[in-house]
Amino acid sequence: MSDLTESSKRPTVLLTGASGYVGGRLLPFLEQQSIRVRCMTRNPDKLRQSVGQSTQVVAGDVQDRDSLMRALEGVQTAYYFVHLMSNARDFEEQDRQAARCFGEAAKQTGVQRIIYLGGLGDDGDPKLSPHLRSRHEVGEILRQSSVETIEFRAGMVVGAGSLSFQLMKSLTDRLPVMICPRWLTTPTQAIAIQDVLDYLLAAKDSPQCGSGVYEIGSPDVVTYGGLIREYARQRGLRRHLVFVPILTPYLSGLWLALVTPAEYEVGRHLIEGLKNPTVVRNSNAMETFPVRPIGVSEAIGRAIAESQLAT
Specify the pLDDT at position 88: 52
- Reported as a single tens digit per residue, the pLDDT across 74-119 is 999 999 998 875 555 678 899 999 999 999 999 999 999 999 999 9
- Reported as a single tens digit per residue, the pLDDT across 31-58 is 999 999 999 999 999 999 899 999 999 9
pTM for the model: 0.91
* Residue 134 half-sphere exposure toward CB, CA atoms < 13 A: 21
**199 in a domain, yes or no?**
yes
Distance between CA atoms of residues 38 and 60, nearest Å: 11
Domain range for 79: 3-157+191-217+277-294
pLDDT of 262 above 60? no
CATH for 11: 3.40.50.720
Mean pLDDT for the chain overall:
87
CB count in 10 Å sphere of residue 48:
13
Average pLDDT of 201-208?
91
pLDDT of 200 above 70? yes
Higher pLDDT among residues 12 and 178, named by residue:
12
Q: Which residue, among 192, 195, 215, 189, has the nearest Cα to 281 in the 3D structure?
A: 215
Query: Is the sign of the CA dihedral 219, 202, 119, 301 positive or negative?
Result: positive
**39 in a domain, yes or no?**
yes
Are 98 and 62 contacting, i.e. CB atoms less than 8 angstroms apart? yes
CB count in 10 Å sphere of residue 308:
10
| Surface-to-core class of residue 257, CB atoms within 10 Å of its CB (0-12 exposed, 13-18 middle, 19+ buried) | exposed
Least confident of 66-75, 84-93, 189-198, 207-216: 84-93
**21 in a domain, yes or no?**
yes
Share of the chain above pLDDT 70, in %: 86
pLDDT of 259 above 60? no
- Reported as a single tens digit per residue, the pLDDT across 126-140 is 888 888 899 999 999
Specify the pLDDT at position 2: 47
Specify the pLDDT at position 1: 43
**27 in a domain, yes or no?**
yes
**113 in a domain, yes or no?**
yes
**147 in a domain, yes or no?**
yes
**242 in a domain, yes or no?**
no
User: Which one of 128-137, 216-225, 234-243 scores highest in mean pLDDT?
Assistant: 216-225
Are 234 and 304 contacting, i.e. CB atoms less than 8 angstroms apart? yes
Q: How many residues does the chain have?
A: 311
Q: Which residue, among 74, 140, 59, 136, has the nearest Cα to 105 in the 3D structure?
A: 74
Distance between CA atoms of residues 139 and 147, nearest Å: 12
- Reported as a single tens digit per residue, the pLDDT across 10-35 is 999 999 999 999 999 999 999 999 99
**73 in a domain, yes or no?**
yes
Total of domains in the chain = 1
